[in-house]
Amino acid sequence: MKPYDQEHGRINLRQQIKDNFIDIYSTKPLNKIRVSELMGKSNNSGSSLYYYFNNIDEVYCECQTDLLNLMAENVVLLDLGVVSNDKSKSKEAFLKFLIILEQNRKELVAFITGSEKVRFYNAWKENLMKIMMNHMRYSKDGNEETILIKASFATGAYIFTQTDWLLDGCRIPKEIVADTYIQILFEGLEK
């Protein structure tokens, strides 16, 4: 996320506030972050924050929403490959998704490990469950109860896999992660 607004040739203060928040939140609990500290990183007054946000919690919520939307957009692309039953499309989409996760690793790790990790996890899980359930309904993958169970399992496994990969510093090559994910997705755990 870049705070520089190329169109207008100036710093986008709203984005800079969010970037500063991520930097601080990665080292401090949400309830310990002060407006003066957040705005001091960009040499702006505390009143500048209130031009864009009502409080620090609102900054947290917007940063969280940005991340969840980014991930949801890309999970939908992956889902399209699965619905069409096309392994190569699915793998290509998953590799793109891994690149996006890696590019946003700092922000994601801050939210995965931060003081509000349960809040983030619940929002992530809720977003992903909706996508998974829609996919399974579309593919007519059982009755509503079966769909709920499968979507719940898939969501938990998906979140765990991505969290583990991010926290491990994205050290496992993306190609291996994608191949493994696609194999499980299309062939199950038996192979």
* pLDDT value at residue 136: 72
Residues 169 and 104 reside in one and the same domain: yes
Residues 9 and 73 reside in one and the same domain: no
Residues 85 and 168 reside in one and the same domain: yes
**Count of C-beta atoms within a 10 Å radius of residue 30:** 16
Residues 94 and 18 reside in one and the same domain: no
Nearest-CA neighbor of 107 among 16, 25, 11, 41?
A: 25
- Mean per-residue pLDDT over the chain, rounded: 83
pLDDT in tens, 17-48: 999 999 999 999 999 999 999 998 878 877 88
If one counts the domains in the chain, the total is 2
Residues 116 and 176 reside in one and the same domain: yes
Distance CA 91, CA 18 (A): 32
Backbone torsions φ then ψ of 17, nearest 5 degrees? -60, -45
**Is 77 domain-assigned?**
yes
Helix (H, G, I), strand (E, B) or coil at 152: helix
The share of the chain scoring above pLDDT 90, in percent, equals 42
User: How confident is residue 191, by pLDDT bands cut at 50, 70 and 90?
Assistant: very low
Contact 182, 87 (CB under 8 A): yes
Q: Which domain holds residue 21?
A: 4-52
Eight-state DSSP code of residue 27: T
Domain with 27 in it: what CATH number? 1.10.10
Residues 21 and 79 reside in one and the same domain: no
Eight-state DSSP code of residue 188: -
pLDDT in tens, 93-131: 888 889 999 999 999 999 999 999 999 999 999 988 888
**Is 118 domain-assigned?**
yes
Residues 67 and 114 reside in one and the same domain: yes
Residues 40 and 133 reside in one and the same domain: no
Is the pTM higher than 0.85? The answer reads no
**Is 95 domain-assigned?**
yes
Distance CA 67, CA 150 (A): 25
Residues 108 and 26 reside in one and the same domain: no
More confident residue, 77 or 53: 53
**Is 12 domain-assigned?**
yes
**Is 58 domain-assigned?**
no
The alpha helices in the chain, defined as continuous H runs, are 13-25, 35-40, 46-52, 56-83, 87-103, 105-113, 117-138, 144-167, 174-187
Residues 92 and 46 reside in one and the same domain: no
